Structure 1
Amino acid sequence: MLETKRFILRPWRDADAPTLFRWASDPRVGPPANWAPYVSIEHARETLHAVYCVPDTFAICMKRPEEFDAAAIARIEGAADFGDMARGFSGRAFLRERKKVASAPLNPIGSIRFVKPDHANCSIEDNDREMGIWLAAPFWGFGIAPEVAGAMLRYGFGERGLSAIWVCNFVENATSARAKDKLGFELVRLEEATNPVTGVVRTQQVSVLTKSSWENMQKATE
C-alpha cells in the first residue's frame, strides 16, 4: 500500500467490481486510454481478476472523501446524461449511486499501475516499467494524477529499483501530456498504436523518466 497527502493506493479486491463498473462504463474514461467502456458488473469483475488484481496495480482511494464532496458532486450532477439513462438509471437514482461511491472512504476513484515489458504499449527494457493511470471523470481537474503518480515514482525507483519508467499517451490527450510534463518525463518519440479490438490506428507520444533524472529532480527540491 502506498500513501500520499490525500490518497491511499491499495491493492484492488473482488468487492471493488461494482465501483469499477460504475467508473469504467463511462465512455469518457476508457477510450482515451485505448480500452472500451465496460458493459456489465460481470465484465468488470472478469477484468478486475485478469488486469487489476496483480502486483504493482493499485486502486486510488481518497483518505478524506468529504473534502471532494461539494466539487465532485457538482460535476457528477452535470454528468447525468442520456448515456446514463440508457444503462437503466433514472436521473435521480443515478446521482444517488454516484454520490454514495464518491463519498465512501477507501472506495476506488481510479487506478494506477506498472506494466511489465511484455505487456507494455511501447518497447522498454527488462528493468523498466510503463506507468498507466485512469481516473473517474468527476474527479478530473483536482491535481490527482500528478500526486499519485509521484508516489508511484518513489515506489518504482526506490523500493522496486527500476531503471526507467515510461508513459504513453495519445497526442490528442492534452491532460495526460500536462501531467506527464509536470513529473519530468521527456518525450522520446511518436509512434502509431493500433487498438487490438477496433483496429483503429492512433498516434501516441512515448516519454521516459530515468532513475538518474528523477534523483536529480529530488535533490533540486531538497
Structure 2
Amino acid sequence: MELTTDRLRLRPWEDSDAARLYELAKDPAVGPAAGWPAHKSVEESLQVIQENLQAPETYAVLRKDDNLLIGCAGLRFGEDACSEKDDEPELGYWIGKEYWGRGYAPEAATCLIDHAFADLSCKAVWCCYYEGNEKSKRVQEKLGFTYVKTDPEGDTLLGYKLPEVENVLKRESWLK
C-alpha cells in the first residue's frame, strides 16, 4: 500500500533502499534523538530494513517531485506500541537532517494519523519523544497530541535510558 500527500509519497521499504537509508541514518543528529544508534554501514541499514522497517504500516518517506527518500514514518501496533491495544497504534517518524525545518515530518505524520483513523478505524494514536528532542515535541504539539505521562525509564537502543514523554491523539479530537 502507498499513501500520498501534496509533497510526499509513503511506500513500503525495499531492500534497494539500504544505501540511501545509510546516507540518512549515519548522521549522529538523526538516530540518537529518536533512541537508536547512528548506522555504521550499508549492510547494517539493510539489516534494519529487513528486521524492522519492512513491518506492516512502516513506510519510506519520499519527496514526490524527485522521488528522493528523506525519512521514515510508521504505525506500530500491539505490544510494540505505548498503549499495547490493537486499535491504538504508536506513531513514529524521522526525517534526514538535511530536510529538517521544511514541514516534512508533520506532513508525513498527518498522513499516517488520517490513515489510522479513517482507514484502520483506530480509537487513538500515541506518539512519544525522548526528553530533549524539541523538534519531535513541536511536531506532536502541531498535530494536536496531548500529554499523558513521562516515563523516567524510557527504553532506547543506545544502551542507556532516557525519560520518554508519552502523548495521545484521540479519535474525537481528530474529528474536530
Distance in 1, Cα, partners of 2:95 & 2:18? 15
1:43 aligned residue: 44
Any conservation in 1 of the 2:148–2:168 contact (CA below 8 Å)? yes
> TM-score w.r.t. structure 2 length?
0.94
Name the residue aligned to 1:68.
none
Aligned partner of 2:92 in structure 1 is: 132
Shift of 1:126: 2.4
1:70-85 maps to which residues of 2 (within 5 A)?
A: none
Q: Aligned Cα RMSD in Å?
A: 1.2
* Structure 1 residue ranges, 4+ long, deviating more than 3 angstroms after superposition: none
1:118 is matched with which residue?
79
Q: Tell me the amino acid that sits aligned with residue 8 of structure 2.
A: F
State the SS of the aligned residue for 1:165: strand
Q: TM-score, normalised by structure 1?
A: 0.75
Which runs of 5 or more structure 1 residues have no equivalent in the other structure? 65-104, 217-222
Tell me, yes or no, if structure 1 residue 211 matches structure 2 residue 171: yes
1:50-80 deviation digits (Å, cap 9, x = unpaired): 111121011111111xxxxxxxxxxxxxxxx
The within-5 A match list for 1:149-188 is 149-188=109-148
Would the aligned equivalents of 2:30 and 2:38 in 1 still touch at CA under 8 Å?
yes
Q: Which has the larger radius of gyration?
A: 1
* Corresponding residue SS for 1:21: helix
How many residue pairs match? The answer is 174
In the aligned structure 2, how far is the partner of 1:34 from the partner of 1:6? Answer: 27
Letter in 2 for 1:145: A
- AA matched with 2:80: H
1:197 Cα offset (Å): 4.6
Do structure 1's residue 194 and structure 2's residue 155 form an aligned pair? yes
**Partners of 1:209 and 1:51 in 2: how far apart?**
24
Aligned residue number for residue 19 of structure 2: 18
AA paired with 1:183? Answer: L
Spell out the pairing of 1:83-122 with structure 2 (5 A cutoff).
105-120=66-81, 122=82
Q: Is the 2:59–2:74 contact (alpha carbons within 8 Å) kept by the matching residues of 1?
A: yes
Matched AA of 1:16: D
The answer to which structure has the higher helix fraction is 1
| Structure 2: gaps spanning 5 or more residues | none
